[in-house]
Amino acid sequence: MKRALWIGMAGAMAAATWLVAQQPAATPAADETPTTLGPAASGGGTTFEDGDIEMPDPAKFHKEPGYSPYAGRRYPERPYFGDEHVHTAWSVDAGGFGTTLGPEEATRFARGEEVVSTSGQPVKLGQPLDWVAVTDHSDGMGIITELKAGNPELLADPTLKKWAEMMKQGPKEATAAVMEIIKGQATKSLPGPMMDPKFAGTVWKRNTAIADKYNEPGRFTAFIGYEWTSNYKGGDNLHRNIIYRDGKDKADQVLPFTTFQSEDPEELWKWMAAWESKTGGKLLAIPHNGNMSNGRMFALTTLGGDPLSRAYADTRRKWEPLYEVIQMKGQSEAHPSVSTTDEFVTNYELWDKGNLTLTGKKPGDLEHEYLRDALVNGLKVEQQVGSNPFKYGMAGGTDTHNSLTAAEEDNFFSKFPVAEPRPDRWNEVVVKNSGQVMKGWEVTAAGYTAVWATGNTRAELWDAMMRRETYATSGPRIVVRFFGGYDFTKADVSRLPAAAGYAKGVPMGADLPAAPKGKAPTFLVAALKDSHGGNLDRIQIIKGWIDAQGKPHQHIYDVVWGDAARRKIVNGRLTPVGNTVNVKNATFVNSIGDPELVTVWKDPHFDPRQRAVYYARVLEIPTPRWTDYDTAYFHVKMDPKVPLTTVERAWTSPIWYGPR
Amino acid sequence: MSAETPTSARGAAAAGTKVPGRLRRLLREPMLHFALVGVTLFLVHAWVAPNGATGRRIVVDRGVVEDLAKQYEATWQRPPTARELAGLVETYVHDEVLYREGLAMGLDRDDPLVKRRVRQKVEMLAEDDPSAHEPSEAELSAFLARHAAQFTRPAVYSFRQIYLGEVATREEAERLATAARAELARGRSPAAIARPSLLADQVTAEAADQVARDFGDTFAGELATARPGAWSGPLRSSYGAHLVRVTAVQPASVPPLQEVRTDVAREWARDRRERSVRERYAALRAGYDVVIETGRPTGTL
């Protein structure tokens, strides 16, 4: 017994000794440490003045008249597809869950190169992306990789050492460790080294170096970015991805903003303003997963409980041009309990059991979590205070945590290494908390952002995002044009909608000019199916408005559909397109629907005194969901409640109307 | 520190072997343990003592003290006081004494943390190739030539296309194509014949992979066989059937180095790094006699 004790003690001492004896591996030279801006990590702090509010004007952007008709064609000719939301091994949770692929592999994969996944499976995108933003969590960026590698500087901390050991013991213990880390973050009790700016500086510089190395103007854009991960009150999702327009030279000057500094988005915007004035560069933020914010993402009060002011609305709109409407943790476009007449959101990729810890929702929360409601409520706030806080365009990202932005249904590598292709992955627990469970099959194979930019460079893509000339897709590379104006007619339904669109109207993301007397808004909308995907079922235009009593409304119009000869609107509903999916083999045929749809639509219920917002939604015919490809490939039988088909879709940024 | 390497390496090599059940009981005998520890201590001492690193003499030289002071300063933003420095030095000695004792007992072996850390260090050394350098033009040219496929720019096409509409069968496509050719022969313009479509009717200088993304893989494949200057078809795309007239083709080519220098340099460095790690491991592994004993069926790698 004594001997055992002695050996045990000696073992512990020897281990501790070894850990302490190592020289720090990641100590950067002090003079190279980037600055931290904003409140100190301890809380409290400095405030910065907002810069001048300078809104982009998409209506004017493409119209610079000149003599030459060809020179006038400055408009974007093709959409550039990418993912603004990718986590790698350098994210605390991703690394903790076992991901070994870092930002370099993530970027190579997005460019279309073959990589070997964490679980050892070779994987390659069916269609390469045009751009990517690796957005690892700023809180403790890179810490897990270093922890697992045994960085002695970190292991000197007893808590970090404990976590490092748990991560080696097996997946169960590793998960427990990550849960402790997430909890530690929420309760502000993370060990000191995780918040050490010196360490963060080293990792950040390595991160930006990789983005610069793979950024090839004209061929592939690698944005510098990070995610600011505010789990307000211990789990209400207020996350934002920060996308840099510039390169390493500017990004390295300041460390990313962390939630150790503040969990309040208003502080983040102050930080962004301070960053821009210090570096002369440009930043934008993309919030996501309002569906897990328990009513906070689009609340009509600030976190402090004050009503939304004009200044708040101006600031939020300035920094946040886009909202991520779909990703692996479900869609945040509209919830069936609020949008009761929308048959296409019923059972469509809903993650609505609670916030990030699956703590349940209070009545009314669901009305402040989804973008469609926010778009309408934004009009109301604008009416009240003179500025719209929720003027969001559409973005889509994966939020992958295994470095693989694989949103294709037939090529889905899911969110974590443990959920990479395996026969049982559909039935395994993904999140379990507060007595609630989310299972593997509920993870969504989505999404991407399409950007109508004049070229594939950081500046051009970023500028297009800033003017909201973007749309989101659940994965497919559908091409969508959407223009608003007062003079579109059926004659504009041509093979070149962009020519008429830019000449006579404004593109997605813009404001309609004042309505000429007696005229209602008209919209030119066109969609071309993904050359590798399903035909199109229909295009819808979704209108939101505020009536004279200040009440919010929404209505969905089916404006053009495939197989037009055999389908019509019965009792306000378009007859379904049908379904060709062979579930057994996970196949479908494009014998229904149309490869492309285009039309001009005029708002039949326009009232020039009412503020309104319009966006287009394009729906594909039903195709196999990733669960169906798994069923066919692994010969597994899933629970009947698991959906095996899906309706892929695209959502355009809205076009707004306001009385002048 | 280099002196512990032989012990660790052998320890690691021995660790993989499985011990049969009967032996295991014997191995639990305290006396045997004692003997083994004694033998190990003796062997370790014999191996490393002359070198001094794990001997009985600890020298805290000026460099060590400077390092301790600097580390302290980096954390606390001020140099340590004389008393604090004495504490740092004593901690260093404390570390060193127990570290050597622990090594002597072989406690570093079979410790996954130690093993992982040492492995990582060795790999880092392998990555830090002493012969690493900025690549010369000749090296880059050679790399480009050797990996030509990786850098090849796909063929670039300019073409006009007449969209004939969706088709269910090959015959239907043929029929529509024949009709369209007849109309062309009568002098009607392609734009008048084509079904309206959002697909570009005129494509200028587009790379084959982009054509495949826009029109589908089948179309891109068939385009490669179309004779430039004449209307070919029907070609099948993801949207239906087309007549196509290729107006210009620039065949796939390997670009000259100056056009892809940054890419080539990046890939060259990556390749070198990976190869260095791989080769050094292979060389080291070849020096070991690895015996794997298992009751489980194992495949080959």
Calculated CA dihedral for residues A404, A405, A410, A415, nearest 10 degrees:
60
pLDDT at A187: 63
Taking only residues 1 to 30 of chain A, the set having a beta carbon closer than 8 angstroms to any beta carbon of chain B reads: 3, 10-11, 13-15, 17-24, 27, 30
Distance from CA of B20 to the nearest CA of A (A): 23
- A306 - beta bridge partners? none
Q: Minimum mean pLDDT among A49-53, A134-138, A652-656: which range?
A: A49-53
pLDDT at A155: 78
Mean pLDDT of A409-429: 93
- Residue type (1 letter), B249: V
Q: Minimum mean pLDDT among B2-6, B76-80, B96-100: which range?
A: B2-6
- pLDDT tens track for B226-276: 999 999 989 999 999 999 999 999 999 999 999 999 999 999 998 988 888
- In Å, how far are A338, A547, A551, A610, B277 from A544, measured between CA atoms? 13, 10, 11, 10, 59
Mean pLDDT of B61-72: 84
What are the φ and ψ backbone dihedral angles of B253, each rounded to 5 degrees? Answer: -150, 155
Taking only residues 154 to 173 of chain B, the set having a beta carbon closer than 8 angstroms to any beta carbon of chain A reads: 166, 168
Q: Is the pLDDT of residue A440 over 80?
A: yes
The DSSP string of A47-107 is -----------HHHHT----S-TTTT--S--EEEEEEEEE--TTSHHHHHTT----HHHHH
Q: Minimum mean pLDDT among A13-27, A51-65, A558-572, B201-215: which range?
A: A13-27
Q: Is the pTM of this model over 0.95?
A: no
Q: Is the pLDDT of residue B165 over 80?
A: yes
CB within 8 Å of B132: residues ≥ 6 apart: B272
Top pLDDT among B186 and B32 is at B186
Calculated CA dihedral for residues A505, A507, A511, A517, nearest 10 degrees:
20
CB–CB of B113 and A17 under 8 A? no
The pLDDT confidence band at residue B128, using thresholds 50, 70 and 90, is: low
Using a CB-CB cut-off of 8 Å, the residues of chain B touching A23 are 67
Give yes or no for B197 touching A (CB within 8 A). yes
pLDDT at B7: 33
pLDDT at B24: 53
pLDDT at B236: 94
In chain A, % of residues over pLDDT 70: 86
Mean pLDDT of A57-84: 67
Top pLDDT among A542 and B270 is at A542
- From B291, B132, B297, B163, select the one nearest B234 (Cα to Cα): B163
Using a CB-CB cut-off of 8 Å, the residues of chain A touching B214 are 531
**SS3 label, residue B221:** helix
* Token output for A114: 């073959």
Q: Minimum mean pLDDT among A317-326, A608-617, B204-213: which range?
A: B204-213
CB–CB of B266 and A30 under 8 A? no
- pLDDT tens track for A73-89: 568 989 999 999 999 98
Mean pLDDT of B111-138: 72
Give yes or no for B299 touching A (CB within 8 A). no
Top pLDDT among A333 and B39 is at A333
Mean pLDDT of B13-31: 47
In chain A, % of residues over pLDDT 90: 68
Q: Is the pLDDT of residue B23 over 60?
A: no
Using a CB-CB cut-off of 8 Å, the residues of chain A touching B112 are 168
A17, A493, A526 ranked by CB distance to B98: nearest: A17
Taking only residues 36 to 95 of chain B, the set having a beta carbon closer than 8 angstroms to any beta carbon of chain A reads: 67, 71, 74, 91, 95
- In Å, how far are A157, A315, A567, B275, B296 from A52, measured between CA atoms? 44, 10, 52, 52, 69
Q: How far is the first Cα of chain B from the last one, in angstroms, to the nearest whole number?
A: 35
A165, A497, A532 ranked by CB distance to B216: nearest: A532
Crossing angle of helices A371-385 and A310-319, in 10° steps, is: 140
Mean of pLDDT over chain A: 87
Burial of A302 (0-12, 13-18, 19+ CB in 10 A): middle
Mean pLDDT of A612-640: 97
Q: Is the pLDDT of residue B31 over 80?
A: no
In chain B, % of residues over pLDDT 90: 46
How many CB contacts within 8 angstroms connect chain A with chain B? 105
pLDDT at A623: 98
How far, in Å, CA of A332 to CA of A295, rounded?
Answer: 12
pLDDT at B107: 86
CB–CB of B198 and A17 under 8 A? no
CB within 8 Å of B74: residues ≥ 6 apart: A27, A30, A198
How far, in Å, CA of A125 to CA of A307, rounded?
Answer: 46
The DSSP string of A455-511 is SSSHHHHHHHHHTT-EEEESSS--EEEEEEES---GGG-SS-HHHHHHHHSEETT-B
Q: Is the pLDDT of residue A53 over 50?
A: no
- The per-residue b/e assignment along A409-425, b for 16 or more CB within 10 angstroms, e otherwise, is bbbbbbbbbbbbbbeeb
CB–CB of A14 and B102 under 8 A? yes
Give yes or no for B213 touching A (CB within 8 A). yes
**SS3 label, residue A621:** coil
The DSSP bridge pattern shows strands A393-396 and A322-327 to be parallel
- A337 - beta bridge partners? none
Mean pLDDT: which of A14-23, A134-143, A214-223 is highest?
A214-223
pLDDT at A32: 54
Mean of pLDDT over chain B: 80
Give yes or no for A168 touching B (CB within 8 A). yes
Tell which of B117, B118, B202 to mutate to test the A interface (max A CBs under 10 Å). B117
pLDDT at A14: 36
- pLDDT tens track for A481-537: 999 999 999 999 987 889 899 999 999 999 999 999 999 999 999 999 999 999 999
Mean pLDDT of A397-413: 95
pLDDT at A70: 46
The pLDDT confidence band at residue A29, using thresholds 50, 70 and 90, is: very low
pLDDT at B46: 47
Question: Cβ(A619)–Cβ(A446) under 8 Å?
Answer: no
Using a CB-CB cut-off of 8 Å, the residues of chain A touching B239 are 528-529, 531, 595-596
Using a CB-CB cut-off of 8 Å, the residues of chain A touching B96 are 21
Using a CB-CB cut-off of 8 Å, the residues of chain A touching B117 are 22, 149-150, 152
Using a CB-CB cut-off of 8 Å, the residues of chain B touching A17 are 95, 98-99, 102
Give yes or no for A209 touching B (CB within 8 A). no
Give yes or no for B101 touching A (CB within 8 A). yes
CB–CB of A495 and B198 under 8 A? yes
pLDDT at A163: 83
Number of helices followed by number of strands (H, E) in chain A: 16, 29
pLDDT at A601: 98
- In Å, how far are A548, B184, B193, B243 from B177, measured between CA atoms? 57, 10, 11, 7
Mean pLDDT of A32-45: 56
The 8-class DSSP code of residue A27 comes to -
Top pLDDT among A637 and A94 is at A637
Using a CB-CB cut-off of 8 Å, the residues of chain B touching A150 are 113, 116-117, 120
Q: Which residue of A has its CA nearest to B265?
A: A213
Distance from CA of B171 to the nearest CA of A (A): 16
Using a CB-CB cut-off of 8 Å, the residues of chain B touching A15 are 107, 111, 113-114
Tell which of A19, A478, A531 to mutate to test the B interface (max B CBs under 10 Å). A531
CB–CB of B107 and A10 under 8 A? yes
- From A643, A649, A109, A92, select the one nearest A406 (Cα to Cα): A109
The pLDDT confidence band at residue B176, using thresholds 50, 70 and 90, is: very high
Q: Is the pLDDT of residue A248 over 90?
A: yes
Give yes or no for B215 touching A (CB within 8 A). yes
